[in-house]
Structure formats: C-alpha cells, structure tokens
Structure 1
Amino acid sequence: MTTPENALEGKSFAKTYFPPARLAVSGLFLLNGTFAGAWATKIPEFATRLGLSESGLGLMIMFFGIGSLILMPIAGILIAHFGTTRTLKGATILFLSTLLLLSAAPTIPVGAVAIFVFGGLMGAMDVAMNGNAVEVEKSMRRAIMSSCHAFWSLGTFIGATTGGFLIQSLGVMGHAVLLTVVGAAALVFLWPHVLHDAPHPSEERKKVRLPRTLLPWLIGTMALFSMVPEGAILDWGALYMRDELGASLVLSGFAFGAFSLTMAVMRFAGDHVRDRFGGVRTLRFCTIMAIIGMIIAGTAPNAYVAMVGFAICGVGISNMVPIAFSAAGNLPGFAQGVALSVATVMGYSGSLFAPSVIGFIAEHTGFAIIFAVMPVLFIVVLLLSHHAVHADVRDHR
C-alpha cells in the first residue's frame, strides 16, 4: 500500500538522483547520438548521390574529423567565456539543421562543406555536453558521466536501427526532416531544464589559452589511448572475425554487438561503481579488464572466443573515457572548459583517425597482431590512472 511517507520518499529519491538538470543533459546526449546513428544509415545514399568511390568517401569522411578537431577547441573557449549552458544550447540549435544539409547536398564541394559542418557542430556539442555533465556532477556531488555516455550509445542504436526503415518509407529528405522536427521538439522540452552555469569569477579574468602544464595533456593521453582501441573494434572487429577467424557474416556482426552491449550496460552501472569505489580504482579495474579482453580477442583460436574477448573489452573500455572526461572537467586551476576540450579533442582524434592507420597496417600484418598488441596502450592508461582522482566530484566542494 502506498502511503504519503512512501510517496514523499519516492519524490525525494527522484529529486536526489534524477534532478531535471541530469535528465536534460542525458536527453541531449541521446539526441546527439541519435543523429550520429542516423548519419551512419545515410552514408551509402550520400556516396551514391555524389558519385563517390570508396577512397573518395574516405576522404570525404575525413572532413568530418577535421571539422570536429577545429570546432571542439573553439567550443572550449566559448565555455570559458560564456559557460556550458549557453554554448550547449547554441551548438545544439545549429547542429539540428545539419542532417538537412547532408541530405540536400547536390555536389561534392557542397557535400564536403556539409559534412565538415556536421562533424564540427557534433564535436562542439559533444564538448559542451560533457562540460555541462561535469557541472551537473558538481551540483549533485555524484558521478553521472558514464550514464550520459550510455544514453549517447543508446541514441546511436536508435538512429541506426530506425534509419533504414525511415529512409525507405519517407525518403532521404523526409527522414532528415522528421529527425530535425523531433530534435527541435525535444530541445524545446529540455531547454528550460538544462543546468544554468556561468564562468567562475576567478576564471573570467584568466586569459583563455592552451594549458601550459602537463596534467591536462596526460589526461588527454588517457582518453586518446582508451578511444583508439574502441575505434579499432568498432571499425575492424567484424572484418577480423570474418576474414581471419572464418566467421559467417551474421556471426561477425556480433563482434560489434557483444562489445557495444557490455559497454552500454556497464556505462549505466558505471556512475554507481565510481561513487562507491572512486575514480582511480574504477579506472584501474576497467583498464585491466580491457587488457584481458583485448588479449583474448587478439589471440583467439576461433570467432566465438574472440566474441567473448570483445565483450570483456567492452566491460573495460566502457567507463575509461567518461572517467577521463570527468577528471579533465574537474581539474582545478584551469579556465572552465579548456582542459576538457583538450581531453575531448585528443580522445576523439584517436577514434576519428586511428582506424584508417590501423587499416593500412593490417594490410601488411593482419588484425590479430594489432588487437594483441593494443593492450600496450592500456598499460599507459594504467600508469597514468592515479590522475583519475580528479574525477571524484564529491571532493570538489
């Protein structure tokens, strides 16, 4: 039987653990991820419309990465001057129109501009989202970053799984219009609940510039060496299972499926784990699990063992990047958003550019040895893991 006392306790729990500001930033992660997943389903039609070969498409997609790497630092500067709230809202408004640009681009030059803007605004929104999530963590004095990234993963799943059906039913432009309208409606709903913040008074007097001390770059290295293996699995795991382990087309798809499933589950659980055990211990456990999983995958005698290895690796990698981003966002003595933008740019540069380098190397060595050697990057993260102490937001009063 529900009593007034139980109802009050339920409301108190919801207000404590799921305040509107947390739900709002989680919703924006979901929105950003949905657009990212939707773009993945548009790539074949985009290439056909512009008459791009595989190499031409690869070069075109490089503009996505270039846009991200240019606008991410700019977002960090804007955060330092105006706070995460205004930067996030502005980046989101501009980002909502990018699928329309991609769907309407008639020529290669226009397509290059569209994909540059899409990647750049997605990256700018990403930095602002992570910055706002850090501010929410500080206000709640508990971790939320991992669950925010889990919502992004959920969004990519939604965007990717619905994209093909919607494009077939509504057409390429109809699909883009629908997502833009839904995204705008979601933003209207989320807008008033986004946590309002402003630059700290001491930070307003600081000249915004790249950090001259080593610590933000070391945390950025942690993010980079966590995301390079993640990008390698997402882009090359299925091909490795099919071509080198003899997996069927259906089974090879489970390389990504097993990895992404365990990653999403652990990201939803990661905030509680980090609050319980602290950022350093959580990161070290995750890194060790990632090492074990990657070694199993790289030395696997068959596709089933590799799939288990990728699943274990997903458990490990899941919370490594969120912890690194929280640590960067909480660094004392740096202008708001600048240290976070350094970590974000370094981390995402790994997932944007490393897979192409890995593909080139794999032509000469095969993927097995690459996956088997990848734990060297995790060992570096393990050596730097003591810096994850800055992710413990309860200590920032």
Structure 2
Amino acid sequence: MPSNDIASPLLLHSKAPAVTQRIANPINFILLGVVYASWAARVPAVRDALQLDAAELSFALLGGGAGAVLSFPVAAGLVRWLGARLASCTAGLTMMLSLLCIALSPSLPWLAASVFLFGASTSCFDVSINALGAVSEKAAGRSIMSMLHAWFCAGALAGALLGSAAASAGLPVLQHFTLIALPLAALQLVNSRWLPRDEAGASSHAPLYALPHGPLAVLGTIGFFGAMAEGSVGDWSGVYLKDILHAADGMAPLAFAGFTGMMLLARLFCDRLKDRFGARRVVACSALCAAAGLGLATAALNLPLTLAGFALTGAGLAAVFPFVFSAGGRHGPTALAGVATLSYSGSLLGPPVVGMIAHSQGMQAAIGFLALVCVIISLASLKASALD
C-alpha cells in the first residue's frame, strides 16, 4: 500500500490567496522548463566557445547526469527536513546560480563541474515540486500530473524560443543566462510564499532513501529510458541540426522548441487519455510514435521534415514522466526519489552514450539509437502494472 510519508509533512494550507495557491506549483514547473531549455538551447554555443569535440562535450554533459543521480538522496532529505516548499526554493535558487556558472566556465573541467551543479539542483527542485504535485493530485481525486508537466513544457518552449532569439541576435551566453536567471530568482522567492505551508521534520519511520524494487523498479526502468531519450534530444538536437543539416545558430534551437511544443500539446490531453484507457496503453502507443519521429529525424531528408520528426518525438514522450512520477509519488517521497534515481540515470547515460555513438558512428546513427530506446519504452510499459 502507498505510504503516508508524503501526506504527513505536506499539509495543504497556506496564508496566500486561493488564486495564488492554485498557480504556485504550475509556476515552479514553468521555472524548471525555462531554465532547462535555456541551457539546452545554448549547448552548441557553449561547445563552440570552448572548442569541444563530441567526446569532450559528452564528458561535460555527463556531469549533469551525475549531479542529477547522485543528488536524489539529498532531494529526499531536503523534502523530509525542510519540507517541499523550502526545499523547492533552496534548490530553485541554486539552479539559477548554476546557469551563471555554466556561462562563466573557462574550460572543460569547469564546465563539467558547473553542469554537475546544474544537474544536482534541477533534480532536487524536480523532486520537491513533484512531491507537492502528487499531494495535490491525491487531494483532487483525479489525474492532474500531466497538466503540471505541461506547464514545464510551456516554460521549456518559452526558454527554447528565447534561446533561439538570443542566438540569432548574437547575444553572448553570459548575458543571455543573466537575463534569464536574475528575474526568475526573484520570481522564485515570491512564489515560495504562495506554496503550501508544509511542516519540516515530520516524524516517519520510513527510510530516508531506498532504491525501488518490484513494480516500482519497472517504473524506474521506464523512466530511465524516457530520460535517456528526452535528455539526449535536449542536449543533441541542436548539434544535430548544425552538423548534419548545416542549420544556422538561430535555427538549431528550433528542434528542441518543436519537441517541447508538441510535448506541451500532448500533455494537455494525457490526463484524460489516462483516465479513459489507462496509463500503460497510453505510454505504449505514444512511445511508438516517438520512435517513428526519431526515425524521421534520422533520415535527415531536409530541415522541415527533421524538425517535424523531433516534434513528433516530443508528443510521443509526453506521457512518460507525468505517469511514472504520479505512480511513484503515490508511495511517498522516499519511493518517488528512488524511482527518480532510476529515471534520471537515463539522463546520466543518455547524452554521453549518444555522444560516443556520434563520435564513432556519426550523428544519424546516434539519433537512430534513440528510436530503439523508444521501442523499449513501449514494450516495458505493457508490463508495468504499477502505472495504473
């Protein structure tokens, strides 16, 4: 049975007006999306500034995945000790700081360390806001997690389009990231006052952190491959357009923008599809659509069709994280952190693996590998009873 260790510390009351309470957690998901996409949009610019090859860029990206995976026990502890509201605020401000550190990195080791901090802070922020989302979903008595993740997509789409505009205008990465980080940090401080006033240090006999097993391990496996595909598209799609289709700097971020835009549209309907058909069927069918989209992108016939392929991939992967995190969150923050650890291990391995394949076999082979990953997601979801 699901544990109550998420419900006890997260008391859904706040001194903020009802309207601001309703928008507080969606704002958190928007912030996460903007920051994540801002980094993804300028990966080619950072690579070119430091003159990195595919293997060296893979090493830097490995830092982000390592930071995400290694920080999940910390994330569970922050939610337990500080409460999800203060944990999200602390992690969110660190996330903004890490964006500036990336822009200021003078060499590969510094870049890898900055991306490590970025991965760690975004994962802690992610667990905190998903913990709040799981409680809100339980209180609502219906599926709402996909809609919350749709707000992440809205933020990511905005971040990708802003990144495209900044790159087209020749704006240096440091100026771009400063213009993003400072206003969002101020918004984060204000928004934290609107979140539920949860209690820190709630007593619980549940372990602080444990890797999932049984049905939860299957959830983590699906999340693992979903993160591998989603993270790799975020990190490599812009590079793919530049290297294979010779797209301009301003066009390269549009692959991620299309990916995120279609993911946003799909997530607007995922909750209703889940209630009608069940999560397993939705994820299985949509993952095959993602595989088809990546197949189209791999063909690299021309720029519009390649952009369409990445967009279809976004629609196909839309249901994976909301449904995996919703199912994991029903078992408490410890279980959620464990499922997230397996899930985001895909972020650790995905981009570097894609980079190594690209280095040895070419970028098209690397994107084709991601199509195979999506087929695996489809097959695994059919066996994942915990999704429903």
Q: Which residue does the alignment assign to 1:185?
A: 186
What letter is aligned with 1:388? Answer: L
Structure of greater Rg:
1
SS of 1:213's equivalent in the other structure is: coil
What letter is aligned with 1:220? Answer: G
Q: Which residue does the alignment assign to 1:63?
A: 63
Aligned partners of 1:297 and 1:371 also within 8 Å? no
Distance verdict in 2 for CA 1:98–1:238, change over 3 Å: closer
- What CA distance in whole angstroms lies between the structure 2 residues aligned with 1:240 and 1:180? 27
What letter is aligned with 1:56? Answer: E
Q: Greater helix share, 1 or 2?
A: 1
Report which stretch shifted further, 336-345 or 174-183.
Answer: 174-183
Q: Which residue does the alignment assign to 2:14?
A: none
Residue 157 of structure 1 deviates from its aligned partner by 2.7
Q: Which residue does the alignment assign to 1:120?
A: 120
- What CA distance in whole angstroms lies between the structure 2 residues aligned with 1:20 and 1:190? 8
- What CA distance in whole angstroms lies between the structure 2 residues aligned with 1:236 and 1:323? 25
What letter is aligned with 1:136? Answer: S
Q: How does 1:101-180 map to 2 (within 5 A)?
A: 101-106=101-106, 110-163=110-163, 172-180=173-181
Residue 222 of structure 1 deviates from its aligned partner by 1.3
Q: Which residue does the alignment assign to 1:10?
A: none
Deviations 1:19-54 (CA, angstroms, capped at 9, x unpaired): 6444211111111221222224554565566x4532
- What CA distance in whole angstroms lies between the structure 2 residues aligned with 1:311 and 1:192? 36
Report which stretch shifted further, 22-31 or 369-378.
Answer: 369-378
Q: Which has the higher contact order (CA 8 A, sep 6+)?
A: 2
Deviations 1:118-148 (CA, angstroms, capped at 9, x unpaired): 2211121112122221122122222222222
- What CA distance in whole angstroms lies between the structure 2 residues aligned with 1:122 and 1:222? 20
Q: Which residue does the alignment assign to 2:27?
A: 27
Q: Which residue does the alignment assign to 2:356?
A: 360
Q: Which residue does the alignment assign to 1:14?
A: none
Q: Which residue does the alignment assign to 1:337?
A: 333
Q: Which residue does the alignment assign to 2:213?
A: 213
Length, aligned pairs only: 363
Does the alignment pair 1:350 with 2:346?
yes
Q: Which residue does the alignment assign to 1:85?
A: 85
Distance verdict in 2 for CA 1:329–1:199, change over 3 Å: farther
Taking only aligned residues, the RMSD between alpha carbons, in angstroms, comes to 3.7
Aligned partners of 1:77 and 1:337 also within 8 Å? no
Residue 91 of structure 1 deviates from its aligned partner by 1.3
Residue 223 of structure 1 deviates from its aligned partner by 0.8
Aligned partners of 2:207 and 2:334 also within 8 Å? no
Unaligned stretches of 5+ residues in structure 2: 1-17
Q: How does 1:233-272 map to 2 (within 5 A)?
A: 233-234=233-234, 249=247, 256=256, 258-272=258-272
What letter is aligned with 1:84? Answer: A
Aligned partners of 2:58 and 2:356 also within 8 Å? no
Residue 258 of structure 1 deviates from its aligned partner by 4.7
Distance verdict in 2 for CA 1:184–1:211, change over 3 Å: closer
Distance verdict in 2 for CA 1:81–1:205, change over 3 Å: farther
- What CA distance in whole angstroms lies between the structure 1 residues aligned with 2:72 and 2:187? 23
Aligned partners of 2:25 and 2:132 also within 8 Å? yes
Q: Which residue does the alignment assign to 2:5?
A: none
Unaligned stretches of 5+ residues in structure 1: 1-17, 390-397
- What CA distance in whole angstroms lies between the structure 1 residues aligned with 2:214 and 2:57? 37
Q: Which residue does the alignment assign to 1:384?
A: 383
Aligned partners of 2:212 and 2:339 also within 8 Å? no
Aligned partners of 2:281 and 2:382 also within 8 Å? no
- What CA distance in whole angstroms lies between the structure 1 residues aligned with 2:38 and 2:148? 19
- What CA distance in whole angstroms lies between the structure 1 residues aligned with 2:296 and 2:108? 43
What letter is aligned with 1:183? Answer: L
TM-score for both structures, normalised by structure 1:
0.75
Distance verdict in 2 for CA 1:273–1:354, change over 3 Å: same
State percent identity of aligned pairs: 26
Distance verdict in 2 for CA 1:306–1:374, change over 3 Å: farther
Distance verdict in 2 for CA 1:305–1:325, change over 3 Å: same
Distance verdict in 2 for CA 1:315–1:112, change over 3 Å: closer
Residue 60 of structure 1 deviates from its aligned partner by 2.6
Q: How does 1:369-380 map to 2 (within 5 A)?
A: 370=369, 373-380=372-379
Aligned partners of 1:226 and 1:381 also within 8 Å? no
